[in-house]
Amino acid sequence: MTAMAEPEVGRARVRKEDERLITGRTRWTDNIALPGLVHMAFLRSPTAHARITAIDTSAAKEMPGVIAVYTGDDLDPGGEVGMPNAWPITPDQKTPRRPMLAQGTVNFAGEAVAVVIARSAAEAEDALAEIDVDYDDLPVVLGVDDAVADGAPLVHEDMGTNTSAEWIFDSAEAGSGGDVQQAISSSEVVVTRRFRQQRLVPAFMEPRSVVVDPTAPQLTMWSATQVPHILKTMVAMTLGLPEHQVRVIAPDVGGGFGGKLAVTPEECAAVVVAQKLGKPVKWTESRSETMVSAHHGRDQMQDITISASRDGTITGLKVDLLADMGAYLGIVGGGVPVLGAFMFNAIYKIPAYRFSCTTVFTNTTLTDAYRGAGRPEATFAIERIMDELAAELGMDPMELREKNWIKHDEFPYTTVSTLTYDSGNYEAATAKAMQLFDYDGLRREQRERRERGDRVQLGIGISTFTEMCGLAPSRVLGSLDYGAGGWEHAAIRMLPTGKVEVVTGASPHGQGHETAWSQIVADQLGVGFDDIEILHGDTQSSHKGLDTYGSRSLTVGGIAVVKAAEKVIAKARKVAAHLMEASEDDLEFADGKFTVRGTDTSTAIQDVALAVFAAHDLPEGVEPTLDSEAVFDPENFSFPHGTHLCATEVDTETGRVRLRSYVCVDDIGKVINPLIVEGQMHGGLAQGVAQALFEEAVYDEFGTLTSGTFADYLVPSTMDLPSFTTDRTETAATSNPLGVKGVGEAGTIASTPAVVNAVVDAVRHHGVDDIEMPLSPMRVWRAVHKGDAAAGGPGAEAGGGLGSIDSAHGGAQ
């Protein structure tokens, strides 16, 4: 590198991992082939709740190629093994045992009941049809309202209730604000809404897959997981294995979105089966299996009340959640809605706040982390009700937000939910977004369309969001009863030829860590981008880590890399001083070279690395290594924010919503690679828009998932999305030396309320003040029509025109 070298950080580098990923020249878990490998297939319950009275596996065992067939009792005769829940949100949380294979009862349709092991995956699947299971149906519990009703049938009879836990935050008790009941009862304006966060499927691209090789003393598991380190420790604890005899490898992993933040029954069953047979085993699921058995996301009923004075000053906020956990608690389980507790107050100065969350069991697939995990739900509710409050007050919704948000000169600011936002500039992001969006021009067009009664109405939706990223300061996790810390590890190895290996405990599954980490290290050490290799995902090489989720990789793991690089330089400085016969204090380090201040004498860090490797001439007492490791535990979260503006066109004749334009200006602090940021924003926006308009996991009255394929579970493609206008402001985070905040979830968190607000805004003059997600054409059309009827417009006459619609099918559905 020359002294004029352009910094790597900030460059829009094409990702170094893309060539192998795009051309398929990589190794996914399903590509792993080992000598003697056998294959597993799971029989899944077709019924949502039943007692298993008999399982006959004899015919299946006679099928061609079949090696073994096991039931739950075969794998776990004592009924002792349960998948881990690492976040008991209250001391008295009810945590039902989630077995590897159902034992006694099945509690959701899709729960595994038996496993076939055969020479080929095809033979294993063929044999499933020969297993005979007798089910004695039990009443099915669906929907949180029904689940908590008096006399409701129970998902887990032995627990005596469908409630897992109730978690409460009250600002009056915490001393961070006033009493919310008092605030509401003394306020001039009160708006109450019930929002439904529909259930979503994470829909990662690569289905889950696991291979277990038990043929060496140290067992090896390959898994398409986000969390190889957590998986290693949890598998050891769950199955009672010595942790040092478990190695987990997450090879290239095709997406996760939180859906692979899990320790699954299938992974644990694979270990037990492999050990029983003494053979390596593989399981790769079909998409149909993903849909019914991998954890889902969202699924909350949100009762929210906001109070304000007539001038628009918010006085209080009260939130009561019912969160559907499904049949069991996953690894983070009830912690997901609890994370939302800190985000309902968003960017606003709210003097009194109370949050309660009741986690509830139903006979459905369990829910757990999904992109944003608690924060999108919270952001949706607050940003939706801000628009409703604005409508109630007759105020422009942006003016209302501006009146209540934290001003840029008020940071650091401690919120009513006790987080301290270190930095931010909501005014700057908003000003830029409003200008890019042409807010005033679109409002003018909206008026014109309304005045001429255009069949296509225009709406504008706002979402001024923030989120907490960089999970997490360990002491905060401790205070929330989470079972682990939130630090991250990195190590740097200086090789004799001047090349560099960087080990990271973060575990990429599509984010581009290899590129971003290389850029960071290139600048830190002054070595070439292409001279750096990033090692990850194998607990043997990357022995320590807490993996990737919650937009934590860069803000925690990236900082650990910086800290490790600093240690390398400190070690190298001693050696360089010795080599150049200079005092350490006289050395400057820049662009990969130690220079004796005021002279031309210098030595490159690569030369130092070689000298250390040779170790022929090192200063007294210096170990012959530059290799260094660091563990970073953040002091605080980081708080990205942004202003998202969405314009929708609503065809009032059909209810179809078209996104006309979408502008977002995000402040994610310092940017390492703008191209990666752009990719994260576009993907995140697509997923957030998908929740608003398209996606929903739907169960019928029997607890059968009716949206069990991509023909019914509608993931949008580029054809369904507008060209996003993305831009940024840059207010550095003060909580880490790079000034970074995280971008992995921003688009998903911010966009859902922006879209729904825009649709409601387009048809508010029809008397519409909410439409349930996803905003299908039928729901939008019904809402417009119902509003017309309520306003005494066309359709108000019974039996006339559109008013003849069957009331049983009326309204949002």
Partner 1 sequence: MIPAPFDYVAPSTVDEAVRALADAGEDAKVLAGGQSLLPVLRMRLAAPTTVVDLGKIGELKGVRDEGDAVVIGAMTTHYDVQRDPLVHDHALLLARATDTVADPQVRHRGTFGGSLAHADPAGDLLAPALALDAEMVVQGTGGRRTVSAAEFFQDFFTTSLAPEDILVEVRVPKHTGWSAHYEKFNRVAQAWSMVAVAATVRAEGGTIAEARIGLTNMASIPVRATAVEQALVGRSADAETIRAAAEHAAEGTSPTVDGNADVEYRQHLAKVLTGRAVESAMAG
Q: Applying CB under 8 A, which residues contact partner 1?
A: 121-122, 125-126, 129, 286-288, 653-654, 656, 694, 698, 706-707, 709, 711-712, 714-717, 719-720, 776-778, 781-782, 802, 804-806, 809
Q: How far is the CB of 266 from partner 1 (least distance, A)?
A: 16
Q: How far is the CB of 709 from partner 1 (least distance, A)?
A: 8
Q: How far is the CB of 454 from partner 1 (least distance, A)?
A: 15
Question: Among residues 622 and 778, whose Cβ is nearest to partner 1?
Answer: 778
Question: Among residues 222 and 713, whose Cβ is nearest to partner 1?
Answer: 713
Task: Give the whole-angstrom CA distance, residue 360 versus residue 161.
Answer: 9
Is 360 strand, coil or helix? strand
Task: Give the whole-angstrom CA distance, residue 70 versus residue 436.
Answer: 61
Question: Among residues 711 and 798, whose Cβ is nearest to partner 1?
Answer: 711
Q: How far is the CB of 646 from partner 1 (least distance, A)?
A: 18
Q: How far is the CB of 698 from partner 1 (least distance, A)?
A: 6
Question: Among residues 716 and 767, whose Cβ is nearest to partner 1?
Answer: 716
Q: How far is the CB of 660 from partner 1 (least distance, A)?
A: 17
Query: Which phi and psi angles does 231 have, rounded to 5°?
Result: -60, -45
Half-sphere exposure of 222 (CA within 13 A, CB side): 19
Listed residue (392, 466, 376) closest to 773, CA to CA = 376
* 680 close to 469: Cβ distance less than 8 angstroms: no
Half-sphere exposure of 292 (CA within 13 A, CB side): 25
Question: Among residues 457 and 553, whose Cβ is nearest to partner 1?
Answer: 457
Half-sphere exposure of 795 (CA within 13 A, CB side): 19
Q: How far is the CB of 297 from partner 1 (least distance, A)?
A: 19
Question: Among residues 614 and 778, whose Cβ is nearest to partner 1?
Answer: 778
Q: How far is the CB of 719 from partner 1 (least distance, A)?
A: 3
Question: Among residues 153 and 716, whose Cβ is nearest to partner 1?
Answer: 716
Distances (CA, A) of 203 to 288, 371, 376, 483: 11, 11, 17, 27
Cis preceding linkage at 750, omega within 30 = no
Listed residue (387, 625, 630) closest to 491, CA to CA = 630
Structure tokens at 717: 């493609």
Question: Among residues 294 and 556, whose Cβ is nearest to partner 1?
Answer: 294
Q: How far is the CB of 289 from partner 1 (least distance, A)?
A: 9
Q: How far is the CB of 155 from partner 1 (least distance, A)?
A: 25
Structure tokens at 65: 């190629």
Is 533 strand, coil or helix? strand
Question: Among residues 567 and 656, whose Cβ is nearest to partner 1?
Answer: 656
Rg of the chain (C-alpha set): 28
727 sits in which H/E element: strand 724-728
Question: Among residues 64 and 619, whose Cβ is nearest to partner 1?
Answer: 64
Q: How far is the CB of 383 from partner 1 (least distance, A)?
A: 24
685 sits in which H/E element: helix 674-693
DSSP string, 439-500: HHHHHHHHHHHHHTT-SEEEEEEEEEEE--BS---HHHHHHTT-SS---EEEEEEE-TTS-E
Exposure pattern of 463-500 as b/e (b: 16+ CB <10 Å)? bbbbbbbbbbbeebbeebbbbbbbbbbbbbbbbeebbb
Interaxial angle between packed helices 426-437 and 397-404, expressed in degrees from 0 to 180 and rounded to the nearest 10: 170
Question: Among residues 134 and 653, whose Cβ is nearest to partner 1?
Answer: 653
* 404 close to 314: Cβ distance less than 8 angstroms: yes
Q: How far is the CB of 43 from partner 1 (least distance, A)?
A: 13
Question: Among residues 309 and 804, whose Cβ is nearest to partner 1?
Answer: 804
